[in-house]
Chain A
């Protein structure tokens, strides 16, 4: 792979962001954002982003809200949810609407995430 895939990870927990970056930076070009709003900005500023993984519960804008907004402007991007909650109606609806491709549970399983992303590319 001469060019790494760029992905954006949105989570309100900085530690999660840092750990995610550390664990994935070898495989992906990881960008991070601490909120949905910042995530949108990152997307605007970095057209090379092809995958977005977002936390569900964040202050201000929930992960689904963020993805809903982002999907409008960036339909080609793949969106995933990484949440500490069990599946909720909201998530189930999002899955049904094809808004998101998959949802991951926290604590994350790195292999699962990696293979899922590779699958969708």
Chain B
């Protein structure tokens, strides 16, 4: 078994099959392999040697085939053995080798023709082969007996066969057989036993070895496990010496939690190195640590909380489990740590939080309470106590909510109902009684707190005092109502409209203004689309809104529902939200149609009268009470040389009058303020310095309230007349001078003087008469001129009135036609109205016609006049004075009569006579007008039942300026002019009067020849 020692020898490559087999098998396989190879080499050598021997030896006759054949067969068998061996059939290969080897031995012995002894001794090879058995046998141990038995049998047979050849006795043969058989048997048995003993001892060694290995492994595992647990544990664990308190072992978790850099860094540290200077109760850590360690040593273990500090200064909390244990007769301490920093923090936060809520509860503005369903107050914070006017919780606790006194209106039942149903109440409003019985309006949010069985334990709630808010709300509501009323009842239109032109709101005034029946109807109209604006697009209005954000006193024309136009004035603004987006427009609308139309009418009227004034031949001047010039017409500028702008605003008398003449104007102006119409003469100084004499007729000017604010004067240039007058004066003076001279001359001759004197007297009387006549003439001229200017005025006015009358007439005609054609059923009701308007127009037209006639200017023109028409015209003019007071009876001739004359003047004459008659009648009375014809003459008799004229006054009535009226009421020129006019027409006038009974005037005029 020398090969066993060399256990490091490698297997030949071809035996790789056995690489995983046990060591013994490997060695056996290797041996068989080499044996086979050696046998094959030996066999080749043997074969060639046999061939050589057989060819050269004389014992053989050439090649002896049975030997050669056997040798070659053996060679092939050994090859087969190697093949089987390589294939892993070790057992079969080894048995095959054994069998072949034995068979070969026996074959040689059998077939060998040589010496018997030589042949018999070969049997030793069998014994030698049998010695191989321990090497071959692995399985089928019984085969060893088979080998022994077969060999013994073959031996016996062989000996029996050859004993004859060598003359061997039977006893010797038996002896040989027995000896050889014993050798074979012994070799086999010994070989087998060697094999068995070897195997058994090997197995034993193997088992022991395995057991030792297992024990070693177990030990190793246990130590690793303990270490691993220690190192990988997430629980920090430290082992400490019980005397020095130094750390002798520490796990990574502990290193980490302590904040050390490594295990080696941690070893040798003491508890003081990882602790805060003092513990929770203020004891220094070293002192405290000693006390805990003593306790652990005494009791075996102790658990406590410890405040640690890391090298970087951070504090942390841990629960420490400290225990003592014995190791190698040494007392050691081991402790584990649980980081409870978070827990501590939460605990502290919880404490703080509780404190905070406590504070909140105590200081909240909102009331917080807890009550039982039975109405007992468990908790109430100061806010609620204060809200209810109590001094303390104890005082409030006496109140039971189930009693009526707590609530103004009993809302408790409702509250209970809702909270029991839903588990909460939200925004529940109720009214509570305060301690002093004031009402407290509150809003509460409460919830029911139940126990596990669902039984309500108590109610928690928050109470908000909304008394003030409620009051504000109610005030607000009232205020809104007030504004709403204002909105509804305002006379002015108020609206809100969208940018798109839709009305959001419109008050009744606006709806009415626009002719709609309701807001709904109005809101259907879109201002943009339907072009509500007549004169401009709404776009223009929007543009103004965009530009300024408002419009102020904006005038525009709107369409009403019926498309009628109204003029409005609007004050509106844009309302925007915080982002600047337009929300709507809102504004006030005033209907100014009537005002506007009135303004326009006024402007037109003013323009007309201005034209009138400007076109007049006379000078017109208007001044205020201080004589400041307000207006002059063009004639003024022409006459006096001052332009309009030069004179306006000047004080009239200062600018235009010589200082000595100013007094008269001042006086006249003062008179005017007493509503006196006056006429006076004065001299104006023109711009170029000329003196111009004027006859001024001044009348007061009143404002709309009837207050006199100035005067208007009609000025007639009488310079020429004045000149004549002056010349006459001069003449007179001259004459007087002559008279004087003559008188002086004649003084020398008395007689001559007397006669001449008389003559001169006569002359002077004559001259005076002439002078008087001249003066008279001049005054009449003045009046005539005045009348003439009135005539211009009247005819202008007539035209202006006729136009509006035309509108009315045209309009009413149109209406009449319309009714006729379309609304016949209304005809009966409408026609009287139309008739009334027609009569009115007729009458107005008549008055205008009369004025026209009266003022007809064609002085020089003589035309055919109808005296009846003239009388009627005059009566028309006087209608308002006659009306309802005087009964006018007209007795005209059947036919009308014409006479040649100046129609205007005849009107003037008749009007004077008739107006005298009217004025003579104080209250009621009658005027009779009668016309008659006699010999180309027309007689008009006008008689009244007035006051009459006294006999002494009758001769004076035709004198100019004779009047019985109050100063300022009449000029005293009327009858004088009448007289003159009638004389001009070759007529005559006679007066008869009876004081208290009336007067009668008889006018005679020649009729025109046909």
- Which residues from chain A sit less than 8 Å from chain B, CB to CB? 13, 15-16, 19-20, 22-23, 57, 83-86, 89, 105-108, 110
Contacts and interface: CB of A to CB of B under 8 A. Distances in A.
Contact of A107 (B800, B841, B853): B841
A22 B806 CA distance: 13
Contacts of A13: 803, 806-807
Closest 6 CB pairs of A and B: A84-B802, A19-B810, A107-B809, A84-B799, A106-B806, A106-B802
B852 interface: yes
B798 interface: yes
B483 interface: no
Contacts of A86: 795, 798, 849, 852-853, 856
Contacts of A89: 858
B813 interface: yes
Contacts of B817: 23
Given A16-B806, A23-B813, A108-B810, 5 more contacts: A13-B806, A22-B814, A23-B814, A83-B802, A84-B801
A108 B807 CA distance: 9
A22 B856 CA distance: 34
A89 B863 CA distance: 12
B800 A84 contact: yes
Given A15-B807, A19-B807, A84 B798 contact: yes
B809 A108 contact: yes
Contacts of B849: 86
Interface SS of A by simple majority: mixed
Interface string B93-107: 000000000000000
A91 to B, nearest CB: 12
A27 to B, nearest CB: 11
A84 B813 contact: no
Contacts of B799: 57, 83-85
A84 B805 CA distance: 9
Contact of B798 (A20, A23, A85, A110): A85
B806 A84 contact: yes
Contact of B805 (A23, A107, A110): A107
Contacts of A19: 806-807, 810-811, 813-814
A16, A20, A85, A107, most chain B CB atoms within 10 A: A107
B805, B809, B810, B817, most chain A CB atoms within 10 A: B810
Contact of A84 (B803, B810, B814, B853): B803
Interface string B789-831: 0000001001111110111111101100100000000000000
B605 to A, nearest CB: 13
Nearest to B795: A85
A101 to B, nearest CB: 20
A2 B679 CA distance: 66
A15 B799 CA distance: 15
Nearest to B841: A107
Nearest to A85: B799
Interface string B843-858: 0010001001100101
A119 to B, nearest CB: 20
A16 B803 contact: yes
Contact of A16 (B798, B801, B807, B845): B807
A57 B797 CA distance: 13
B805 A106 contact: yes
A24 B795 CA distance: 29
B234 to A, nearest CB: 109
Nearest to B851: A86
A110 to B, nearest CB: 5
A19 B808 CA distance: 9
A85 B796 CA distance: 8
A15 B803 CA distance: 9
Given A85-B798, A86-B798, A86-B849, A106 B803 contact: yes
Contact of B813 (A15, A105, A106, A110): A110
20 contacts: A13-B807, A16-B807, A19-B806, A19-B811, A19-B814, A20-B810, A23-B810, A23-B813, A23-B814, A23-B817, A57-B799, A83-B799, A83-B802, A85-B799, A85-B802, A106-B802, A107-B805, A107-B845, A108-B806, A108-B810
A19 B857 CA distance: 32
A35 to B, nearest CB: 15
A83 B800 CA distance: 11
A13 B604 CA distance: 11
Nearest to A89: B858
A107 B810 CA distance: 8
A109 to B, nearest CB: 8
A83 to B, nearest CB: 8
A107 B802 contact: yes
Nearest to B849: A86
Nearest to B856: A86
B806, B811, B845, B856, most chain A CB atoms within 10 A: B806
B905 to A, nearest CB: 16
A52 to B, nearest CB: 18
A19 B849 CA distance: 23
Contacts of A22: 810, 814
B795, B808, B813, B817, most chain A CB atoms within 10 A: B813
Interface in B854-891: 856, 858
Given A85-B795, A85-B799, A86-B795, A107 B856 contact: no
Contacts of B805: 106-107
B808 to A, nearest CB: 7
A85 to B, nearest CB: 5
Contacts of A83: 799, 802
A107 to B, nearest CB: 4
Contacts of A23: 810, 813-814, 817
A64 B827 CA distance: 41
Contacts of B841: 107
Contacts of A107: 802, 805-806, 808-810, 841, 845
A85 B801 CA distance: 10
Contacts of A108: 806, 809-810
A106 to B, nearest CB: 4
Contacts of B808: 107
A16 B795 contact: no
Nearest to A111: B813
A16 B856 contact: no
B869 to A, nearest CB: 13
A84 B856 CA distance: 14
A108 B813 CA distance: 10
Contacts of B814: 19, 22-23
B823 to A, nearest CB: 16
A108 to B, nearest CB: 6
Nearest to A16: B806
Contacts of A20: 810
A83 B853 CA distance: 16
A84 B845 CA distance: 10
A110 B812 CA distance: 11
A84 B799 CA distance: 5
Contacts of B856: 86
B353 to A, nearest CB: 90
Contacts of B800: 84
Nearest to A15: B807
A13 B798 CA distance: 16
Contacts of B852: 85-86
B742 to A, nearest CB: 55
A15 B795 CA distance: 22
